[in-house]
A = this chain, B = another copy of it.
Amino acid sequence: MELLYETLAAELSESIARGVLRPGDRLPSVRLLARQRKVSVATVLQAYLRLENEGLIEVRPQSGHYVRPRRALELAEPRTSRRAHTPAKVQVSTGVAALVASMRDPSVVPLGSALLSPDLLPTGALNRMLAGIAREMSSAGATYESGPGLLTLRRQLARRSVTWGMSLGADDFVTTNGAVEALHLALRAVARPGDAIAVESPTYFGVLQLIEELGLKAVEVPTHPRTGVDLEELEQVIRTTASLKAVLVMPTVSNPLGTVMSDEAKQQLVRLVAKYDLDLIEDDAYGELVFDSPRPRPARAWDREGRVLFCGSISKTLAPGYRVGWIAPGRHQERIEQLKFAFTVASPTLPQMAVAEFLASGGYDRHLRRLRATLRGQVDRVREAIADSFPAGTRVTAPAGGFVLWVELPQGADALELQSRALARGIAIAPGQIFSARGRFAHCLRLSCGFPWSARIEAAITTVGELATVQLSRRRTA
C-alpha cells in the first residue's frame, strides 16, 4: 500500500521531471500545501524529506524548499563510439575480477556493480509469499521443474507480456537462472565457436564474458548514448562479416548507456535481422525501468518470424538473489529447452512459485512506479555531483531509465588505474575497458546510482572526481 506522503512525493517528483516545477522554483510552504491537500503537516514534511533525499529539492535556511538547480544540465553527453568493424576475440574476465570481489565487501561504497539497495526492493513481501508457499506445499521442490520451467510463472509472464506491448503465450517462455543464463543459452542456440556476434559499444561486460567463454567473437558497432546502436553501421558490419550470426542488444534501457531506442529504430533493427537471415538476442533486463511510463515495446513486439530471443529477469526490479529470469526464444524454443536441461537441468521450483505469486498479486506495477521515480531522482543526484566535482570536459549520459551513468573523462584518463586507486579509498567503480572486447573506453567509467543519496555517496563521487583530476594533471605534466 502506498502511503500518503509517498503519493505526494511521487506527484511532486513528476511535476519536477515534466518541468512544471523548474530548477530554482520555490515549492509551496509546508503549511500551505498541507491545507491545500488536506493532509497533515507531518505528511508534507515527510514528502519533502524524501524529495530532498532523492536530490530533487533542497532546503534554503529561513527561506523554504526549492527545486535544485541543475548544474548537470551543462554536462555534454558522451560521443558516439567509433568504428572497429573487425571481429575481436574477447578478454574481459580478468578486468571484471576486482569488480566482483568488491561486490561482496559491504565496507566498499557501491558505485561499481549494477546493484540496487535492498531498501528499494520488495524482497520482504516476496519472501513472505515464499514462506507461505513453502509452508503449505510440502512436496514443492521434490522433483525437477524441467522442460520450459514452472507453468504458473510462465502464465504470469505471458500475462505481463501484454503490458510490454506484445502478447506471448506461456509456451513461448523458458525460465532460467537470471537473464545471464538466458543470454548464455541464446548465444549457444544461434552461434558456434568462431562465429561473430554484433554488440553495442560500449556493452555490458557480462555479455562480453559469455562471448569470450563460448569462443565467439564480438563486433562492436558504434552506438549513440541517446539513440542507440547505429543501424547503418550495423548493416555495414553485417555485410562485411561473413561469420556474423546474431545481433545482441539492449534496445530498452541499455547497460551502460541507458539508451532507449525509438519504436522506428526497433522496427528497422528487426527488419535488418530478417533481411540478412540472422537472429536478434534482445536483453530486456532493464526494460521495466524506463523512467517515463508506459514502457516502450521491446523489439520482439515487431518480430513476425521468431527471430528475436527475448531475455529478461527480476534481478533489477525484485530480488537478484532469487535468480529468476526467462527467455522467449522464438524459433529456437526446442533447442533452448534442450540446452537448459543440459546445463542446469531446471531452475529451482520454489523461487519461481514465489515470483509467480508476486506477479499475480498486482503489487508489481505499483512497486515499479515508485522504484522508477526513486531511481530517476538518484541518477539526477549523481549527475549533479559529477557536474560539481569531475574534471572540466567530462561528459555523462542522461539515461532514459535504469540506474547507471556512463562517464566520459577527458582523453588521457585511465579508468583501470582509477579503479584501483578508488578501491584503495574504499570506493568501487566500473572501468570503461571491461565494456569493450578490445579494451577501448580507457577514459570512461560506469557509476551505479542504485543506492539512496547519502553523504557517504556524495563524498565518494567527490573523491573519484578528485582522483580523476589528479590523474589527468599528472599525465599532462609527465
Contacts and interface: CB of A to CB of B under 8 A. Distances in A.
Nearest to A177: B344
A143 B348 contact: no
A131 B350 CA distance: 10
A169 to B, nearest CB: 18
A450 to B, nearest CB: 10
Nearest to A106: B143
What interface size band does chain A fall in?
35 or more
A350 B338 contact: no
A321 interface: yes
Contact of A140 (B127, B177, B180, B210): B127
Contacts of A142: 118, 121, 123, 319-321
A115 B139 CA distance: 14
B139 A134 contact: no
B338 A323 contact: no
Contact of A342 (B93, B130, B322): B93
A393 interface: no
A467 interface: no
A188 B213 contact: yes
A180 B121 contact: no
A342 B210 contact: yes
Given A140-B123, A213-B188, A180 B321 contact: no
A424 interface: no
Given A178-B345, A351-B351, A124 B144 contact: no
Contact of A143 (B118, B127, B130, B213): B118
Interface string A274-285: 000000000000
A209 B123 contact: no
7 contacts: A100-B341, A103-B146, A123-B139, A127-B138, A181-B343, A321-B348, A321-B349
